[in-house]
């Protein structure tokens, strides 16, 4: 008897259903797995045999053939252990084929028959729903992500023996979807950095507010100790929450990366903040590996990617980010592996010193760098990379008057106060672009800029003068209009005026001062 079990695998961040077919036949005892299995799938033979034996069942001494269909998709990982074991038990007559019809099964097996968590359950269950199935069996640690998909009944046994008992008497209770422990909106800002803790730097705070409201990339340049990193850490506290669809999309990426094991971070509404070290390789940034996995830019999808000490990153690592910054996705191709595409729409937040010692242009005469050293340091950030950064702001040295402990008036606005304006502007954008497939000003295409970024004659003349005198590119022209649109939204204006445009242009002066 041929047993068929419904299971799945991951291609990029999308689930792909796989039929696990198991057949016993005569001949010398042998266990073969076909259908383009990876090495970890082939190793399932020993795990499955030991798990079945230690669960109290004896495999007959026959030839076993397991086929993973379709055979043209490469299968990786231990997620096929449980469906293969179930297929064997069906062929042995322990479980009825009718009991598993239409039921999706996935999970890794321990040698004692315990079911272990795996990566990628959420996208597999999403693909399962699209195929019309209504129930699934997943490891207990993955249940929190599986129940995020509405309309799917989720069972989560602890062991293979418990699963066999369930197919006999339906002893397992489905996981209650109301217990979405981590799916609530997390608006608790108490554990985040507060803008009021940053002394002075009003210009940088204003730029950070604009970047958060419109989803714009931002670069902060200034001497050590001026507050660049602290400002960056404050950004999460002023950004609007993820929508439920955005949270599910991000959770799919985290599920594939293995971050959701144990139910942690499942469908969190807090926007991600990723801050990789400057020694991070380009593969870790954009994704890849022998078995491709999402990189930092995908883990920061719909959130913030903070690159501190920007020139210290490898130049090739920064250059590989240029295309994803424009496209909002990255395609990873490796020899012998099917190309995969990961979402990567993030806000790039970068910080850097103006020179190797950090004091060039600070006005304190501390800089010890030669002109050649400064030029070499700044040249690590290429022109095309710099052109893709919407807002470039200089962070000045902090003054003593800003740091006085008893000067409460200098503390400025709190993150909660700024966040109210940002959320209002973000909702305005979401409503405006409802039928255009975008949610934020930074995502505007050239045709959408023509539609939504109207300016008058005075604004046109100002933009023309800036374009010609500053030698701006076509990309910079569009980015100025996008930033001006966000500034107008923060002020509640439908039309971009001269002041909005002037402020947006002022955020493009940094490269002219330091790079030319």
Which pLDDT tens digit goes with each residue over 187-217? 444 567 888 888 888 899 999 999 999 999 9
Which residues, at least 6 apart from 284, have a Cβ–Cβ distance to it below 8 Å?
276, 295, 296
- At 448 the pLDDT is 95
- At 55 the pLDDT is 94
Task: Please tell me the least confidently modeled range out of 162-166, 213-217, 241-245.
Answer: 241-245
Which segments of the chain belong to CATH 3.30.230.10?
A: 2-169
User: Per-residue pLDDT for 59 more than 80?
Assistant: yes
- At 406 the pLDDT is 58
pLDDT confidence band for 170 (50 / 70 / 90): confident
User: Per-residue pLDDT for 467 more than 50?
Assistant: yes
pLDDT confidence band for 510 (50 / 70 / 90): confident
- At 117 the pLDDT is 94
- At 199 the pLDDT is 84
Across 224-232, average pLDDT: 91
pLDDT, tens digit (0-9, with 9 covering 90-100), for 373-425: 999 999 999 989 999 999 999 998 887 777 766 555 556 789 999 999 999 99
- At 422 the pLDDT is 96
- Quote the tokens at residue 194: 């507060």
Which segments of the chain belong to CATH 3.40.50.300?
A: 195-405+412-514
Question: Mean pLDDT score of the chain, rounded to an integer?
Answer: 89
Task: Tell the burial category of 187 from Cβ atoms under 10 Å away from its Cβ (0-12, 13-18, 19+).
Answer: exposed
Higher-confidence residue of 193 and 308: namely 308
User: Per-residue pLDDT for 452 more than 50?
Assistant: yes
pLDDT, tens digit (0-9, with 9 covering 90-100), for 340-351: 899 999 999 999
- At 186 the pLDDT is 44
Across 36-43, average pLDDT: 93
- Quote the tokens at residue 22: 């198991």
- Quote the tokens at residue 322: 């240029």
User: Per-residue pLDDT for 464 more than 90?
Assistant: yes
User: Per-residue pLDDT for 430 more than 90?
Assistant: yes
- At 183 the pLDDT is 41
User: Is 496 strand, coil or helix?
Assistant: coil
Across 357-361, average pLDDT: 85
- At 516 the pLDDT is 62
CATH class for domain 195-405+412-514?
Answer: alpha beta
Alpha helices in 294-399, H assignment, sequence order: 296-299, 315-319, 322-327, 371-378, 383-387
Q: Could you tell me which CATH number the domain at 2-169 has?
A: 3.30.230.10
pLDDT confidence band for 491 (50 / 70 / 90): very high
pLDDT, tens digit (0-9, with 9 covering 90-100), for 106-123: 999 999 999 999 999 999
Please give, one letter per residue, the 3-state secondary structure of 180-197.
Answer: CCCCCCCCCCCCCCCHHH
User: Per-residue pLDDT for 504 more than 50?
Assistant: yes
Burial 291-330 (b: 16+ CB within 10 A, else e): ebbbbbbbbbbbbbbbbbebbebeeebbebbeebbeeebb
Task: Tell the burial category of 170 from Cβ atoms under 10 Å away from its Cβ (0-12, 13-18, 19+).
Answer: exposed
On the question of a cis peptide bond just before residue 70, with omega within 30 degrees of 0, the verdict is: yes
- At 418 the pLDDT is 95
- Quote the tokens at residue 516: 């030319």
User: Per-residue pLDDT for 50 more than 70?
Assistant: yes
pTM of the model: 0.87
**Strands 337-343 and 329-334, sheet pairing:** antiparallel
- At 219 the pLDDT is 96
User: Bridge-partner residues for 154, per DSSP?
Assistant: 136
- Provide the percentage of residues in the chain whose pLDDT is more than 90: 66
- At 409 the pLDDT is 52
pLDDT confidence band for 333 (50 / 70 / 90): confident
């Amino acid at each position: 008897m041929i047993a068929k079990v419904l299971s799945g695998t991951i291609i990029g961040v999308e689930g792909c259903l796989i039929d696990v077919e198991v057949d016993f036949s005569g001949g010398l005892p042998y266990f073969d797995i076909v259908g383009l299995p990876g090495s970890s799938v082939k190793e399932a033979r020993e795990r499955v045999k030991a798990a079945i034996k230690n669960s109290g069942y004896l495999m007959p001494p026959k030839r076993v053939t397991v086929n993973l269909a379709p055979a043209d998709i490469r299968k990786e990982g231990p997620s096929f252990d449980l469906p293969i074991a179930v297929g064997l038990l069906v062929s042995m007559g322990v479980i009825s084929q009718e009991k598993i019809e239409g039921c999706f099964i996935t999970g890794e097996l321990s040698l004692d028959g315990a079911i272990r968590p795996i990566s990628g359950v959420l996208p597999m269950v999403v693909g399962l729903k699209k195929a019309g199935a209504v129930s699934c069996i997943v490891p207990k640690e993955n249940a929190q992500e599986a129940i995020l998909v509405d309309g799917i009944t989720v069972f989560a046994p602890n062991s293979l023996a418990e699963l066999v008992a369930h197919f006999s008497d339906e002893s397992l209770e489905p996981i209650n979807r109301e217990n979405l422990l981590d799916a609530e909106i997390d608006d608790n800002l108490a554990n985040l950095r507060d803008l009021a803790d940053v002394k002075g730097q009003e210009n940088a705070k204003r730029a950070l507010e604009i970047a958060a409201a419109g989803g714009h990339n931002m670069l902060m340049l200034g001497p050590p100790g001026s507050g660049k990193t602290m400002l960056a850490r404050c950004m999460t506290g002023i950004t609007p929450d993820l929508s439920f669809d955005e949270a599910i999309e991000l959770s799919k990426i985290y599920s594939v990366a293995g971050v959701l094991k144990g139910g942690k971070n499942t469908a969190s509404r807090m926007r991600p903040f990723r801050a990789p070290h400057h020694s991070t390789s380009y593969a870790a940034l954009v994704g890849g590996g022998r078995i491709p996995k999402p990189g930092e830019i995908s883990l920061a999808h719909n959130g913030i990617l903070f690159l501190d000490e920007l020139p210290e990153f490898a130049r090739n690592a920064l250059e590989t980010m240029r295309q994803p910054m424009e496209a909002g996705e990255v395609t990873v191709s490796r020899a012998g592996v099917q190309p995969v595409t990961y979402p990567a729409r993030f806000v790039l937040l970068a910080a850097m010193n103006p020179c190797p010692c950090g004091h060039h242009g600070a006005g304190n005469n501390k800089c010890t760098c030669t002109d050649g050293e400064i030029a070499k340091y700044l040249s690590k950030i290429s022109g095309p990379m710099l052109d893709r950064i919407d807002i470039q702001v200089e962070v000045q040295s902090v003054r003593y008057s800003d740091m006085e402990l008893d000067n409460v008036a200098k503390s400025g606005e709190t993150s909660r106060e700024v966040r109210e304006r940002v959320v209002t502007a973000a909702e305005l954008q979401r409503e405006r672009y409802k039928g255009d497939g975008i949610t934020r000003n930074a995502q505007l295409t050239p045709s959408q800029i023509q539609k939504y970024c109207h300016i008058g004659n005075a604004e046109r003349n100002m933009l023309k003068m800036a374009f010609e005198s500053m030698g701006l590119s076509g990309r910079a022209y569009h980015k100025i209009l996008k930033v001006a649109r966000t500034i107008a939204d923060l002020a509640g204006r439908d039309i971009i005026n001269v002041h909005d445009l002037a402020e947006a242009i002022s955020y493009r002066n940094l490269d002219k001062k330091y790079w030319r």
